Structure 1
């Protein structure tokens, strides 16, 4: 049996008392709070709750204390509870859940369609990040550093395009226990500074230098030195001393 503790005004409404409670046919307007155990519509009709301001659904415990609240307003939908869940139509798989400690997205795929992408204020843990086909993938930190870590390695690949890493200051590639392996048909290092080396006085008849040696300073900086019969790299090069 359904009990109603309220006053109501009915306009063109038919109401019937049945074994299962009260059945209303038409639009019902309740002027005071409505207390019921269950509200449902006919199988072939939707259930509509309408208000000029907002619709609020409260859940209370046996002591009358508020334990959950759902408010549908003109500007937002707000939920206040210990845990909020969105489940699939079957009711078993949790698509989204949120509590004070964490937010879980249970969908197989999270798609961000905004032109500005997704902004994360703190760390993000995920096994896979990719862009849509024919779209660029950008990972950037405008004012801070960008760190990618994984216990078994980080793989960055571009199967059908270029891979580009740019920064304002220094780019560090560091391997603490292994090696840095560059495997490509052509490896280009642009804008390297030119060191100076002279084993004999230069003359106007000396052919123009076209072959250079790649040198590494003790501090790791790279520079080019004119190639000779032997190595022309010098730790006392002006590039190493003034870098």
Structure 2
């Protein structure tokens, strides 16, 4: 069939308008989409603001964060710092000219371990005191001089003077070995053993001097001065032997004022009235 044979078809097509199809989201869907986009923009702006605020508050920089700085020598902390977990470090030191302050609510412990993770030295500072544990303890001066050391065998005091400030002095349960014992100026020196004996021995002698005062030796039982190879010298202007027993009185009525000191074979001393000859034999009954 030719086009001339169907004239009604051309008329129908010419009278119809072309249809337009719209592509997109309209209505409530479009409004929801805009709302979600706006909400996401708000969240992004808030997150960005919070991130900038956190960076500002925490003081984030290229060198570190807050009081923590990363340097060539290690980590550097400025101000107060708190560690909630164990801290492992090779060296801890303060800033030049500033002290190093360690604070704890319970105690501060410093432990030294060997290669086998065994404790070899320990220092604990707590509310009950300071406790140290180790093979040896040394205290030295700024010049490197030994002031005090202690180990299992001995305790050494390297200072020029050892001063005991207690009212009862120093108490030694065992022997004491020292080259020199001296009191402070204008103070008395007392060596006392209230319940036991007091011995002073030296291979080359014991020297006792009191340049500006008196020397007094008091005991309840016996006082013994012994020299095995040498002699005992009493060098003084006056030597007094008090409470020595006296021998028989002179038959004459005159009061005798001159006596001689007699020595018994057992070492006892007594006084005997002096005469033209020795009267010690007359009073020898005092030697019994």
The two structures have a TM-score, normalised by structure 2, of 0.73
**Could you tell me which residue of structure 2 aligns to residue 38 of structure 1?**
91
State the Cα distance separating 1:50 from its structure 2 match: 0.7
Alignment coverage as a number of residue pairs:
225
2:227 matched to 1:180? no
Q: Equivalent residue for 1:207?
A: 254
Counterpart CA distance in 1 for 2:282 and 2:273 is 15
After superposing on structure 2, the runs of 4+ consecutive aligned residues of structure 1 that deviate more than 6 Å are none
Flag the structure with higher strand content.
1
Judge conservation of contact 1:218–1:235 (CA < 8 Å) in 2: no
Deviation at 1:197, TM superposition (A): 5.6
Q: Deviations over 1:95-121 (max 9, x none)?
A: 111111111111122122222211112
Q: Is the 8 Å Cα contact of residues 13 and 28 (structure 1) preserved in structure 2? A: no
Aligned counterparts of 2:282 and 2:86: Cα–Cα separation in 1: 86
Q: Which residue of the partner structure matches residue 178 of structure 2?
A: 126
Cα distance in 2, alignment partners of residues 14 and 81 from structure 1: 36
CA contact (8 A) 1:196 1:237 kept: no
* Corresponding position of 2:165: 113
Q: Which has the higher contact order (CA 8 A, sep 6+)?
A: 1
| Match status 1:50 vs 2:97 | no
> For the residues of structure 2 that align with 1:178 and 1:86, how far apart are their CA atoms?
42
Say if 2:130 is the partner of 1:83.
no
Unaligned runs of 5+ in 1: 1-9
Q: Work out which of the two has the higher radius of gyration on C-alpha atoms and give 1 or 2.
A: 2
Task: Quote how far apart the aligned CAs of 1:213 are.
Answer: 1.9
Q: Indicate if the aligned counterparts of 1:217 and 1:240 stay in contact, CA closer than 8 A.
A: yes
Q: Judge conservation of contact 1:225–1:233 (CA < 8 Å) in 2.
A: yes
Equivalent residue number for residue 152 of structure 2 = 100
* Alpha-carbon offset, residue 123 of structure 1: 1.7
Tell me, yes or no, if structure 1 residue 170 matches structure 2 residue 217.
no
TM-score by length of 1: 0.85
Please give the alpha-carbon distance, in whole angstroms, between the structure 2 residues aligned to 1:235 and 1:87: 69
Secondary structure in structure 1 of the residue aligned to 2:201: coil
CA distance in 2, matches of 1:235, 1:107: 60
2:121 corresponds to which of 68, 90, 97: 68
- Work out the CA distance in 1 between the residues paired with 2:200 and 2:152: 26
Contact 2:110–2:124 (CA under 8 A) maintained in structure 1:
yes
Corresponding residue SS for 2:82: strand
Match of 1:18 in 2: 71
Q: Once the two structures are superposed, what CA deviation does each residue of 1:109-140 show, in whole Å capped at 9, x if it has no partner? A: 21222222111122222111100111111111
SS at match of 1:55: strand
Query: Over the residues paired in the alignment, what is the CA RMSD in angstroms?
Result: 2.1
